Amino acid sequence: MTYAVHMQTLENYGAHDDDGKFENGNAYWKFKGGDTYLVSGVDRPADAMAFVMATFAVNSIGVKEIPTDVETQAEWEAKLADISDDYREFIWETVNRIDVGAFFDGKEAPRYYHQAAHAMGKELVQ
């Protein structure tokens, strides 16, 4: 089955000019956008969410990106029916498609490894 896992990004404005820590009174978090991952190759929604969390979540003093919702692909697609054709096309072009089996089989894995590294603010060396 394929699941849509939705992420929420938070940015800590307090980490721009200061240490951004709650303990020092410098935390100032704001909600930002987020990514959606279509995850196939799993049987349960919790597995899809846990895979995205383990692979693509960000947890730093300046940025956090965490999964907040999971639904079947059919449920997600039904919600897209009410938006404009142009916006729906943009969403389909930008959604992250991940097959859990392909991630581990070594064939498509390099593309996913680069995506995961980018999510953690790192780049892989070729």
3, 2, 1: which is closest to 69 by C-alpha? 3
Residue range 27-43, pLDDT digits in tens: 999 999 999 999 999 99
Q: How far apart are CA 64 and CA 99, in angstroms?
A: 24
pTM of full prediction above 0.85: no
pLDDT over threshold 90, residue 73: yes
10-29 pLDDT per residue, tens: 999 998 888 888 788 889 99
Supply the pLDDT for residue 44. 98
End-to-end CA, the chain: 33
Rg (CA), the chain: 16
Weakest-pLDDT range from 5-19, 45-59, 95-109: 95-109
- 59 CB-near residues (< 8 Å, 6+ apart): 66
pLDDT digits (tens, 9 = 90+) for 106-122: 666 666 666 666 665 66
Cα–Cα dist 73/17, whole Å: 41
